Amino acid sequence: MAEEGRQENGRWPVIVRSALPRKLADFSIKVISSLSALLGIAILAWILFEVIKRGSAALNWSFFLHLPTPPNIEGGGLANAILGTSMITLLATLAGVPIGLLAGVYLAEFGQNTRLGSVVRFTSNVMMGIPSIIVGLFVYTLLVLPLHHFSGYAGAVSLAIIMLPIVARTTEDMLRLVPNSLRESALALGAPRWKATLGVVFRAAKTGLITGVLLAIARVSGETAPLLFTSLNSPFWPKSLSQPTANLTVTIFNYAMSPYSKWQEMAWGASLLIMVAVLALTVVARFVFKEAKK
């Protein structure tokens, strides 16, 4: 009976299936993917166009050098908010990046198969998905309520908490990409484990680590909710971070919600400034990463 299904040359008959359904499915997926990409790019371009068009009118020397003025009074700027944002972001970077790097080193080099490493990795993943307003509420309960006043330090702590899991996971991923042969070579030459990690593994992964840090800074640069609960805002120069501190994101929130056209224009200008800063950090990160590949 088995021989009945064979052709005369002794081979099984070849079943020829039409390629048209597969080609149609492939073409449909390509069209849907392309349209989705174009839609996303179009929305992004629209946002960029609107922010540039509305915000460029507010950018002048007064915007960068002067304090804000009362409503319906010409002049003034957001110099205090620019300075306050820079101070808070710098302090958050100094606090969050080293802890994130150390956590990433532990996860990649020492705690890969340990129970503590699994707990740290799981906690880091959970923290990356926590809404920023929850972080702000947590720091408000931890620092603002006991001290009975808002402060730039509390804002920096909230931003550092947001940065920490991003830096930790990026560090772990980048260090895992380093070949084990580099570690083994350093250890074979008699170098201690910590020196092999810092002197060899870190150098091999430095581009990815820098990229992760820059992206973490860009991530927290536009956060508003944590600073509403922690730093609040101030119309004065930030002489100390132990008091309510002016910052761009909360200023944008306050000015955009106001009925005054001048303040709304200033809000657009601050939005443009933050957007340019975030785009600059992203471009620098990608440029550094591209140069390292060469």
State the pLDDT at residue 94.
Answer: 94
Q: What is the pLDDT of residue 219?
A: 87
Q: Which residues lie closer than 8 Å to 132 by C-beta, 6 or more apart? A: 158, 162, 223, 225, 226
The pLDDT of residue 71 is 83
Indicate if the pLDDT at residue 142 is higher than 80.
yes
Q: What is the pLDDT of residues 113-137, one digit of tens each?
A: 888 888 988 998 899 889 999 999 9
**CB-CB contact of 104 with 178 (8 Å):** no
Pick from 273, 239, 278, 269: which is nearest to 87 by CA?
239
Gyration radius of the chain's alpha carbons: 27
Q: What is the pLDDT of residue 37?
A: 94
pLDDT of residue 16: 64
Please report which confidence band the pLDDT of residue 153 belongs to, taking 50, 70 and 90 as the band edges. Answer: very high
- Averaged pLDDT for residues 179-194: 85
Tell me, what's the pLDDT at 64?
A: 93
Average of per-residue pLDDT values in the chain: 87
The reported pLDDT for the residue numbered 97 is: 93
What pLDDT is recorded for position 246?
93
Please tell me which of 160-164, 185-189, 194-198 the model is most confident about, judged by mean pLDDT. 160-164
The pLDDT tens digits for 221-251 are 889 999 999 999 999 999 889 999 999 999 9
Domain boundary assignment for the chain: 20-58, 61-293
Which of the four pLDDT bands, split at 50, 70 and 90, describes residue 294? low
Any idea what DSSP says for residue 13?
P
Reply yes or no on whether the pLDDT at 266 is more than 80: yes
Angle between helices 79-105 and 206-221 (to 10 degrees): 140
Q: What is the dihedral of CA 48, 50, 51, 52, to 10 degrees?
A: 80
Say what percent of the chain tops pLDDT 70: 92
**Higher-confidence position of 291 and 229:** 229
Contact 159, 88 (CB under 8 A): yes
User: What is the model's pLDDT at position 1?
Assistant: 43
pLDDT at res. 3 = 46
Is the pLDDT confidence value at 6 over 70?
no
pTM, to two decimals = 0.84
- Overall fold of domain 61-293: MetI-like fold (1.10.3720)
Q: Report the pLDDT value the prediction gives residue 293, as an integer from 0 to 100.
A: 56
